[in-house]
Structure 1
Amino acid sequence: MGQVLSTEQVPPRDRVAYWHEVICSTFIKLDVAQTGGGMFRGMVRNHQIGPIQATRILTDPMTAERSRRHLRSAEEDVCLLALQLRGRTVGRQDGRQAVLEPGDLALFDSTRPYLVDFQGRQFDHLVLQFPRAALRERGIEANDATAHRIAVDSVIGRLVSPFLINATRVADTASAETGQRLAGMALDLVATALAPLTGLDRPPSSPGEELLRRVQLYMQLHLSDPCLSPPKVAAAHNISLRQLHRLFSREGTTFGRWLREERLRRCYDDLGSPLLAGRSIAEIGARWGLPDAPGLSRAFRARYGMSPRERRSAAVSAGSAAQP
């Protein structure tokens, strides 16, 4: 059930100070203040999903602030994705404000000041903390996407929020390999949800752009299927093959090229993961829908300028060099 830290056994007069230590050790350096009256109560439950730390927070009303003072000595370079479960949160960063109701999502970046105000008598929150580089690798610059509300009743919200909740529920019983895979899927979904926010002057998405995101989400969730094909994807979305190909053409790519890039990127990530060092290159290719080992090797070299084996060796060498 994950590591649990609670104020329950802490004397009332020491609870806020203890809670401040819990929040700072769990996440990043923050100033924490109680905003309600009475005896303060709080609990966190930590889970690990590959490189993602998922933390459930149940707390009385409070604020948490990341100030410029914290940034002067900060070494963290992470993002925090907040998923509201109960109560209400008002988050501010980069001149924007997001008001979160149950099911809503918002992103915050540790490299700049922000403030979150946890409101409601029964506050419940899920926070996913992960390296900021994980978004950049997926084409997302965090500073453009912070403090924007992703509504639970939006198309993307209905997909992302339940997935993150369920991934956290199974995290403690999942194998390391499954956790790594869940993390990759979660980060892909988060990046897809944030993508429309990264151009602040961009007009609202057209129906075609929204449909393309839904198609790409479906494909990301079915990358392991070697038989994933245009007819199958088109049928799943009740559109014609011509319409499907037009969606990708408008983005300057094709169905096949986009699918190949996604699969190769997953293979690239897995080959660099120490958790999957026991898996053969052929097995990694097969788990992402590329069962033809020679074909994988050729496509991988054409994309990354190295063979899958060289990618794995380079990752091992880098990991060894990082050891104290």
Structure 2
Amino acid sequence: MASQAAHGTVDLASPLEIVLRDGAADSARIETRSTDGLAPRHALPYWRDGVLRRMELLDAPAHANASGPQRFHARLIHVAGPGADLVQHISDAVSARRDRQRIRRDGCDDVSISLLASARPTRLVHRGDHVLRGGDVFVTDYAQPMEILRPRHHDISLICSRQRLEQALGGDVSLLAGRRLPRRGLAMLLGSHLRLLSAQMQWLTPPQRAAAVRAAVDMALAGLQTEMGLHPHDERMATGGLHHAALLAIHRECHDPQLAPERVAALVGCSRATLYRVFAAQGGSVAAAIWSTRIERAHALLTGGQMAHLQIAEIAHRCGFADPPTFNRMFKRRYGMTPLEARDLHKTIL
């Protein structure tokens, strides 16, 4: 019996392998694992042996051997990206540990930066005793023992090679184990990016998935550097992470007419001067990115059909333009026609 995958089928008898490699820079393959279609008594053993092989299950949950509505449900989507893997895991309650014997046996020393997208409080014992809540971004180190007690949960993880992290951060990453990033700046934006990526990744092309995973890794590394005061060994990666995070912040906040570079810098947790340098390194400016995002959103709303009932002035306001004449002038400069002409042209094409 096989589970459905976005590209081909996956043999449920074969264990899930997460092997980090450089891979093609413009490709990211995807596979899906699920307990759907399995007999109730086979669901948990399959998940234990085929998916959670790095961990040892603790006391079996109450539904382990049950049938009917109490059966164990879980689903995993794995994207093998360039230099990092993205894993989305939705599962019923499960508790597991990784001890030193297992670490010596499998030799895995990857590091995971994870978003607990939704769950009741989750206990993580990993260089200390931690309580995680929905929305937390945290770090786990597979080279160190851990124990995690999870209720039903949904998490999204970037799994990076230890070598890559140490190269990017310029030092030993073992002290990051169990670390929870503060809910602000880059960590919060990284969480938003991971949620969006997990929701859309099955609909993206392989090159699009690869670009999105690279952006997530850059943001994660920049977040670790910024929030934890680590010296970046790879300045290009730090700059790329801040740039991706700033663009995400602009996309989220461009409806605000008061959005300015100072506000964007505060959202990503850096100084205005640093933000200016980051955008200059990419050949652009913060102000231009704000205006461009607003114009592109307005164009999408004008030509998308769903907002046909709205006046053009209302669309301009929703996209952060307080002055309609300025909106009309900038729109025409960008698209070579007025907003009204763009809307009418779209109606003609339809």
TM-score range, shorter chain: 0.5 to 0.7
- Are the counterparts in 2 of residues 91 and 98 from structure 1 also a CA contact under 8 Å? yes
Q: Which residue does the alignment assign to 2:9?
A: none
1:123 maps to 2:153: yes
| Superposed structure 1 runs of 4+ greater than 4 Å apart | 196-200, 214-218, 220-223
- Are the counterparts in 2 of residues 77 and 111 from structure 1 also a CA contact under 8 Å? yes
Q: Which residue does the alignment assign to 1:207?
A: none
Unmatched runs of 5 consecutive residues or more in structure 2: 1-5, 7-29, 231-237, 248-258, 266-270, 284-350
Which of residues 20, 39, 59 in structure 2 aligns to 1:11? 39
- Are the counterparts in 2 of residues 46 and 53 from structure 1 also a CA contact under 8 Å? no
**Take 2:150 and 2:212, find their aligned partners in 1: how far apart are those partners?**
28
**Take 1:58 and 1:255, find their aligned partners in 2: how far apart are those partners?**
39
Q: Which residue does the alignment assign to 2:277?
A: 255
Q: Which residue does the alignment assign to 1:319?
A: none
Instruction: Report matched runs for 1:1-324 at 5 Å.
Output: 1=6, 2-24=30-52, 29-34=54-59, 36-38=61-63, 39=66, 40-48=71-79, 49-87=81-119, 88-94=121-127, 96-119=128-151, 122-139=152-169, 141-151=172-182, 153-195=183-225, 198=228, 218-221=242-245, 235-237=260-262, 244-245=272-273, 255=277, 260=281
In structure 2, the CA distance between the partners of 1:217 and 1:72, relative to structure 1 (3 Å rule), is closer
- Are the counterparts in 1 of residues 219 and 242 from structure 2 also a CA contact under 8 Å? no
In structure 2, the CA distance between the partners of 1:44 and 1:81, relative to structure 1 (3 Å rule), is farther
Structure whose CA Rg is larger: 2
In structure 2, the CA distance between the partners of 1:69 and 1:197, relative to structure 1 (3 Å rule), is farther
In structure 2, the CA distance between the partners of 1:173 and 1:238, relative to structure 1 (3 Å rule), is closer
How big is the shift at 1:175? 3.4
**Take 2:100 and 2:190, find their aligned partners in 1: how far apart are those partners?**
31
Unmatched runs of 5 consecutive residues or more in structure 1: 201-213, 224-233, 249-253, 264-324
TM-score, normalisation: structure 2? 0.54
Q: Which residue does the alignment assign to 1:209?
A: none
Aligned residues: 223
How big is the shift at 1:149? 1.9
Q: Which residue does the alignment assign to 1:266?
A: none
- Cα deviation, 1:64-117, whole Å, max 9, x if unaligned, reads 2111111212232311222112213221212x2332211111111111111111
How big is the shift at 1:173? 3.4
- Cα deviation, 1:263-292, whole Å, max 9, x if unaligned, reads 9xxxxxxxxxxxxxxxxxxxxxxxxxxxxx
Q: Please tell me the root mean square deviation across aligned C-alpha atoms, in Å.
A: 3.6
- Quick one: percent identity of the two aligned structures? 15
**Take 2:58 and 2:179, find their aligned partners in 1: how far apart are those partners?**
24
TM-score, normalisation: structure 1? 0.57
- Are the counterparts in 1 of residues 186 and 245 from structure 2 also a CA contact under 8 Å? no
In structure 2, the CA distance between the partners of 1:216 and 1:174, relative to structure 1 (3 Å rule), is closer
